[in-house]
Structure 1
């Protein structure tokens, strides 16, 4: 399946190249950062592509290493995606549409660990703030919305 093949590229740039070869053009819809070490890249492919849905969420680490690829029929909301990942975190809201396909890589680990108050950070304490939902960001750069 294409979702597995995309994940196996292990690097965002190679994944985008493989996606372009497989489906042609696609749209980069958004980029969501949660904490210092997790990024979600939201992509839309043309209807009728060789995927079970038109929306992909590519989760990467801070170096662009692909951790997870998810496929949806509908555009997922950020808060709903994180509620799916971390159902015990009361700061995330929303219901996620069914996951049509999912693949994880050797880079994957429980993303909820990045959101704990004692999560590691490369930012000194005086230069960071807690992001809504958890995780650290540079002071003044917090994305307040998780929905």
Structure 2
């Protein structure tokens, strides 16, 4: 089921696929300009879903890169430590991932966080995030 959700290739497709089971938006984490994690809780998970928490990773256009299924909401920086274990700025409890599906949009997310990575923000309007990547200055 996780792969079928991911293969819709859009956040809307994943949300529509979960609609029969009920879902609630738990959180949204943006890391840099080009990676978003949308955390959902499925209210009545079907048997083919091994957990009640779904994390949908998208690019900046809402294109699905990865879908994770977990039994509990992961710690944001623990999840990033799992993804980028060599990045000393990410730490936290390891997520208990029950299922993973990746799409044609997936690539190593650690590449987005390296020093000198591309940014759409001009230097004077951006600030570096913990772990790498940029956000707009507040």
1:106-125 alignment, distance < 5 Å: 106-125=104-123
Contact kept, 8 Å, 2:82 with 2:95, in 1: the verdict is no
CA distance in 1, matches of 2:60, 2:78: 22
- For the pair 1:39 / 2:43, whether they are aligned, the reply is no
Unpaired segments of 5 or more residues in structure 2? Answer: none
CA distance in 1, matches of 2:82, 2:105: 19
Query: Which residue among 30, 45, 63 is the counterpart of 2:27?
Result: 30
Give 1:13's aligned residue.
12
Unpaired segments of 5 or more residues in structure 1? Answer: 141-147
CA distance in 1, matches of 2:17, 2:44: 18
**What RMSD, in angstroms, separates the aligned Cα atoms of the two structures?**
1.1
> How big is the shift at 1:49?
2.6
The alignment's TM-score, normalised by the length of structure 1, stands at 0.89
CA distance in 2, matches of 1:97, 1:112: 17
Total equivalences in the alignment: 137
Query: Which residue among 66, 71, 75 is the counterpart of 2:69?
Result: 71
Tell which deviates more after alignment, 44-53 or 34-43. 44-53
SS of equivalent to 1:100: strand
Query: Which residue among 93, 96, 100 is the counterpart of 1:98?
Result: 96
The alignment's TM-score, normalised by the length of structure 2, stands at 0.95
